[in-house]
Amino acid sequence: MSRHPFRLPLIAILRGIRPQEVLAHVQVLVDEGFDAIEIPLNSPDWTDSIGSAVRAFGDRAWIGGGTVLRTADADALVELGARFVVTPNTDPALIRHAVARGLQVVAGFATPSEAFAALDAGAQMLKLFPASTYGPAHVRALRAVLPPVPLFVVGGVDPTVLAGYLSAGSTGAGIGGELYRPGQPVDRTQDSARAFKQAYLEVLP
């Protein structure tokens, strides 16, 4: 169940990162075993950051764009060499377009209706957002009706609550402010990455 393309189902979200910072932070994430790196499109000069990350780490990690709202953005990501997109909402036209361009789509949703709309449009993965508003019980209820697709929880997920979501049926998590905040030192990113990876590994049988 919940097949996904990532070796480690923890999507590192580097919201607000700048091009001159991106390589150092992605380096420590890759060194810690993270292979899904999302740079949201509301970050400064995101095309430069994603392009440089793809060139430096595209053979070792999935580099993708987040907060994708327009088909033109999906096209730009394809040209940059990105391999997946993360949306904050369920937009069937955008999902269909991104899938047609060869991208993996992690579609944002909150309700079963939104989840099924995203899947019908071709999304390969789902993102429950904001997870902290709904909690693990919501994930468990969703799993009762959803097909066995990858389901990531995003928003307010830290290492102390990760196990509860995984036990409820989530595949993994997207981790943003709990992992990276703009301007923070690289060693803090590394320490946070280690804590999340350890929390994930402790749940494995």
Tens digits of pLDDT across the chain (205 residues): 568 999 999 999 999 999 999 999 999 999 999 999 999 999 999 999 999 999 999 999 999 999 999 999 999 999 999 999 999 999 999 999 999 999 999 999 999 999 999 999 999 999 999 999 999 999 999 999 999 999 999 999 999 999 999 999 999 999 999 999 999 999 999 999 999 999 999 997 6
Q: Catalytic amino acids?
A: 38, 127
Give every CB contact of residue 137 below 8 A, 6+ residues apart in sequence. Answer: 168
Give every CB contact of residue 183 below 8 A, 6+ residues apart in sequence. Answer: none
Q: Given the structure tokens 């790196």, which residue do they identify?
A: 37
DSSP conformation letters of 117-166: HHHHTT-SEEEETTHHHH-HHHHHHHHTTS-S--EEEESS--HHHHHHHH
Supply the pTM of this predicted model: 0.97
